[in-house]
């Protein structure tokens, strides 16, 4: 089978984070600081990625600003010719820090916010952070960098969508990503409390349509499908080993950020292998590439060429078998696992979820 080159690299620079969001989709077992790749090792990863065909890298975490050597890492990506996007909570993004990153070659920033109300945002994040985010937004705008705002939607904040979009407009975001919670890693523990009701999602859709139909200039509004509610499988990562790769803080290379939880994957590491071999030859990247691994109903379904059978990590988390059709799909024989949860009566009170525990 011909393997096309990837175009994006998710560089998880650290799993350390000042926030404690209950919807965190990073693994339950986080990588500790002592095994993080050095800036020099990241420089090698970026060179190999560029040689492989990658054109952009998302510098993510955890919170990448916790890496003091972040300007060196940005400069290394710039030298490799990669477009860089910093994915940040905004905590620690002062004027001097941003100046250093821009001087190193940073191209764009994606900032997260948890709620439009400062107290609610801090409560969801499990840390005082809203004021830092507000300041970071101002600095990003003043620096003239392309500015994306990321909002993870769940039961506690989805009713505030109108205010959240208005906040993004007030902060000057070019793009607002409305991303329904992905139930991987830590977030899976909190699925029952994070999952919105069908009525909440319907109301949010109406709000979204109203904003999209407003005349005049407006940020781009991206709506990431709520697969649990819609009964459709997401084309996760654009297909396994098809478009992008993830390098974890300790150099483990994965087809998606959640794949570390899959059994028998034996994920390779950039400390042992070249990225080109990892992408083309490794067992991990070939495990669910293409469609030969698929079973029915995916195998005989016309949708599989676009949804790629959905998410392998979700299929494994819910059924114990990563080769099954993603239960989010209403055609899956396991769809009741999701439908019953979505349609089960749930208390009206604001749910409480378990805060994320930090990296060692």
Residue 191 vs 312, nearer CB to ligand FES:
312
Does residue 184 bind ligand FES (CB under 6 A)? yes
Tokens coding 77: 């990506």
DSSP string, 64-115: GGG-TTHHHHHHHHHHTT-EEEEEE--TT--HHHHHHHHHHT--EEEEE-S-
Distance of CA 287 to the CA centre of its chain: 22
User: Does residue 272 contact residue 266 with C-beta atoms inside 8 Å?
Assistant: no
Does residue 329 bind ligand FES (CB under 6 A)? no
Which part of the chain contacts ligand FES (CB under 6 A), choosing from 189-197, 244-252, 270-278, 309-317? 309-317
In angstroms, give the least distance from the CB of 171 to ligand FES: 29
Residue 312 vs 356, nearer CB to ligand FES:
312
17 is in an annotated binding site: yes
Does residue 37 bind ligand FES (CB under 6 A)? no
In angstroms, give the least distance from the CB of 275 to ligand FES: 19
Selected binder of ligand FES within 236, 242, 298, 317 (CB under 6 A)? 236
Which part of the chain contacts ligand FES (CB under 6 A), choosing from 121-129, 185-193, 205-213, 251-259? 251-259
- At residue 18's C-alpha, the angle toward residues 16 and 24, to 5°, is 70
Does residue 49 bind ligand FES (CB under 6 A)? no
Does residue 312 bind ligand FES (CB under 6 A)? yes
Which part of the chain contacts ligand FES (CB under 6 A), choosing from 41-49, 198-206, 209-217, 308-316? 308-316
Selected binder of ligand FES within 93, 173, 256, 265 (CB under 6 A)? 256
Binding track over 268-307 against ligand FES, x by CB under 6 A: ----------------------------------------
256 is in an annotated binding site: no
Does residue 258 bind ligand FES (CB under 6 A)? yes
- At residue 110's C-alpha, the angle toward residues 105 and 116, to 5°, is 145
Q: Is 228 helix (H, G, I), strand (E, B) or coil?
A: helix
Does residue 164 bind ligand FES (CB under 6 A)? no
Residue 261 vs 342, nearer CB to ligand FES:
261
What are the DSSP E strand ranges found in the chain?
8-12, 56-60, 83-88, 108-112, 147-153, 175-180, 220-224, 244-247, 253-254
24 is in an annotated binding site: yes
Backbone dihedral region for residue 237 (phi beyond 0: left; psi -120 to 50: alpha; all else: beta): left
CA distance linking residue 326 with residue 61, whole number of Å: 26
Distance of CA 97 to the CA centre of its chain: 24
Selected binder of ligand FES within 30, 54, 311, 329 (CB under 6 A)? 311
Give first-to-last CA distance, the chain, whole Å.
Answer: 41
Binding site for ligand FES (CB under 6 A): 184, 236-237, 256, 258-259, 311-313
């Amino acid at each position: 089978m011909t393997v096309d080159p990837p175009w994006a690299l998710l560089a998880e620079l650290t799993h350390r984070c000042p926030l404690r969001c209950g919807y965190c989709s990073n693994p339950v077992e986080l990588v500790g600081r002592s095994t993080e790749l050095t800036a020099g090792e990241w420089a090698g990863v970026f060179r190999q990625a560029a040689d492989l065909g990658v054109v952009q890298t998302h510098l993510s975490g955890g919170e990448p600003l916790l890496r003091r050597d972040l300007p060196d890492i940005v400069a290394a990506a710039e030298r490799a010719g990669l477009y860089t996007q910093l994915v940040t909570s905004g905590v620690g993004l002062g004027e001097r820090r941003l100046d250093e990153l821009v001087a190193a070659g940073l191209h764009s920033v994606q900032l997260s916010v948890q709620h439009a109300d400062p107290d609610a945002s801090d409560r969801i994040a499990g840390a005082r952070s809203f004021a830092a985010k507000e300041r970071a937004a101002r600095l990003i705008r003043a620096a003239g960098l392309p500015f994306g705002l990321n909002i993870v939607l769940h039961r506690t904040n989805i009713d505030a969508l109108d205010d959240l979009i208005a906040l993004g407009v007030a902060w000057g975001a070019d793009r607002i990503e409305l991303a329904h919670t992905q139930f991987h890693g830590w977030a899976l523990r909190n699925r029952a409390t994070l999952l919105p009701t069908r009525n909440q999602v319907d109301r949010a859709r109406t709000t979204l349509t109203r904003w999209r139909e407003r005349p005049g200039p407006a940020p781009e509004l991206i709506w990431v499908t709520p697969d649990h509610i819609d009964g459709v499988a997401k084309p996760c990562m654009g297909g396994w080993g098809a478009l992008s790769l993830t390098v974890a803080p300790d150099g483990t290379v994965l087809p998606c950020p959640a794949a570390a939880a899959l059994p028998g994957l034996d994920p390779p590491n950039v400390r042992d292998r070249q990225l080109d071999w990892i992408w083309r030859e490794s067992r991990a990247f070939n495990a669910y590439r293409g469609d030969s691994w698929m079973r029915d109903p995916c195998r005989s379904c016309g949708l599989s060429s676009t949804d790629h059978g959905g998410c392998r990590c979700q299929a494994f988390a819910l059924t114990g078998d990563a080769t099954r059709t993603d239960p989010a799909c209403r055609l899956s024989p396991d769809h009741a696992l999701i439908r019953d949860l979505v349609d089960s009566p749930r208390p009206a009170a604001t749910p409480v979820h378990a805060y994320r525990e930090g990296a060692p």
